[in-house]
Amino acid sequence: MFQVRSWPNVILHLDGDAFFASVFQATNPRLKGQPVVTGSERGLATAVSYEARKYGIHRGMLTWQIRKICPQCTIIPSDYELYSLFSQKMFTILKSFSPAVEEYSIDEAFADLKGLRQPFNMSYQEIGRAIKNKVENSLGITVSVGISVTKSLAKLASSFRKPSGLTLVPGHEIEILLGKTVISDVWGIGENTSAYLQKFRIKTALDFVRQPESFVKTRLSKPFFEIWRELRGEKVYEINDRSKQSYKGITRSQTFTPSINNKNILWARLLNHIEDAFSQARQFHYLVGKVCPFLKTQDFHYHVTELKLSPPIAYPYLVREELRHAFESVWKKGILYRTAGCRITDLQADETSQMTLFTTDNLLEKKIKKVYPLYEAKKIDFGTTFFDRKTVEDNKPKPKLKLPVISISHSSS
């Protein structure tokens, strides 16, 4: 029908499998292999793990329906900051192979592999597999990879063997892929256009590309003519490698019911949120350049301060005094607060630079690196309180609270 040499262009499409649900499974090992659905905050499924799909659960299904057909399904709220952390790490890995990467959405990207066989001394299939393996081993999720001569064909190829698939479609094998793709699965062809094309007995992507150019131009608008060309192996869509900068920071907070003014409790909760946010950043090897502690009053007014960190750090204990002063600048006696929290921003990759020997700060940082695993295992606490929500509520009317504290620099008997 039409002839396309094997590799006039080489485009890779990387797609996270059930991405939102897979991220939660990766961060919560007990959920591995279990049915998981995200979207409880909206009352409907926004992402469905492959294990949950076996029960007939699909996106958009109401949570009460999900519980009815699969009582053992774990339904959890979405966490877009966590998704973005995984997303940026995935894109960083992809960019380590190709400088031309398009971050198409939070869970998928395109990359131009043309000319990379010689530098890597690998075939295009081997490069695709190396990318796939590195993402999966680093993040604990599965991804599907498609490689072909245009973006439209690469996207079809990545969907061909899900989950955790790798499909290579050189120019001379395009027709095989198109013949196995129903027209509604083509990127850019929606439900209405698909129904319209089927009136002309166009049921597959191959049926579509077999139509003469005059048919496509007469019956359809310009975007569909571009799709028609892409499916025939003619490159129309370029790689847009301008970073979307979709990930900007991490926010952690807690609402108190009822609102409180107790300075010690607010400070302790704020520290917990700061530690939690930094811990999330460290998990993905980020240093933090800015911390913004905040308190929200009972009438929903925010009191925020900003602490710039130069150089960026990985451990908040290094700036514990500065954090305390920042908190005291926003806390006011006599005002009831409903929320305490923080946002960390200006994140940058931790490239582990060489440290100057024997300086006090670096000796402290070395000690902290040894101590923090104990903190993250919840075996010690850095100046925060050991209490739960019930304790807060029970003790709010009382004038004083005794707060057990463990410090790095001072031991407690």
Closest alpha carbon to 153 in 127, 118, 181: 181
Cα–Cα distance between 43 and 63 in angstroms, integer? 5
Mean pLDDT of 288-296: 90
pLDDT for 252 equals 87
pLDDT in tens, 34-67: 999 998 887 889 899 999 999 999 988 999 999 9
User: Hey, what are 227's tokens?
Assistant: 């799709």
pLDDT at site 372: 64
Average pLDDT over residues 179-206: 94
Mean pLDDT over 150-170 rounds to 96
**172 domain residue, yes or no:** no
**Number of compact structural domains in the chain:** 1
Query: Do you know the residue count of the chain?
Result: 413
In a domain, 304, yes or no: yes
pLDDT category, 345, cuts 50, 70, 90? Answer: confident
Its pTM stands at 0.66
pLDDT of residue 195: 94
DSSP 3-state percent helix, strand, coil across the chain (nearest 5): 40, 20, 40
Query: Is the residue at 307 inside a domain?
Result: yes
Nearest to residue 316, comparing CAs of 292, 296, 338?
A: 292
Per-residue pLDDT for 392 more than 60?
Answer: no
The span from the CA of 130 to the CA of 111, in Å, is 14
pLDDT confidence tier of residue 1, bands split at 50, 70 and 90: low
CATH classification of the domain holding 384: 3.30.1490.100
Q: Domain range for residue 346?
A: 249-395
pLDDT tens digits for range 74-120: 999 888 788 888 998 999 999 999 999 999 888 999 999 999 999 99
pLDDT for 230-261, tens place per residue? 999 999 999 988 765 445 678 888 888 888 99
Angle subtended at Cα 251 by Cα 249 and Cα 256, rounded to the nearest 5 degrees? 170
Quote the CA–CA distance of 375 and 403 in Å, as a whole number. Answer: 18
pLDDT above 90 (res 319): no
Report residue 359's pLDDT band, with 50, 70 and 90 as the boundaries: very low
Q: What pLDDT, on the 0 to 100 scale, is given for residue 356?
A: 33
Q: Is the pLDDT of residue 368 over 90?
A: no
Give domain status of residue 44, yes or no.
no
State both tokens at 148: 């072909």
Which of 26-40, 55-69, 164-178, 275-289 comes out lowest in average pLDDT?
Answer: 275-289
The answer, yes or no, to whether residue 399 has pLDDT greater than 60, is no
Instruction: Calculate the average pLDDT of the chain.
Output: 84
Question: Within a domain: residue 119?
Answer: no
Q: What is the pLDDT of residue 78?
A: 85
Is residue 86 in a domain? Answer: no
Do 124 and 29 contact (CB within 8 A), yes or no?
no
pLDDT at position 407 is: 34
The stretch 349-357 carries a mean pLDDT of: 48
The proportion of the chain whose per-residue pLDDT surpasses 90, expressed as a percent, equals 55
Q: What is the pLDDT of residue 401?
A: 42
- Residue with the bigger pLDDT between 7 and 254: it is 7
389 occurs within a structural domain: yes
Q: Is residue 400 part of a domain?
A: no
DSSP state of 45: -
Q: Which residues are catalytic?
A: 108
For the cut 70, the answer to whether the pLDDT of residue 395 exceeds it is no
Joined together, the tokens standing for residue 256 give 């108190």
Residue 218's contacts (CB-CB under 8 Å, 6 or more residues apart) are: none
Closest CA to 246 of 77, 82, 88: 88
Residue type at position 245: Q
- Residue 228: name the closest of 247, 209, 255, 250 by CA: 209
Q: Can you read off the two tokens belonging to residue 51?
A: 């294990």
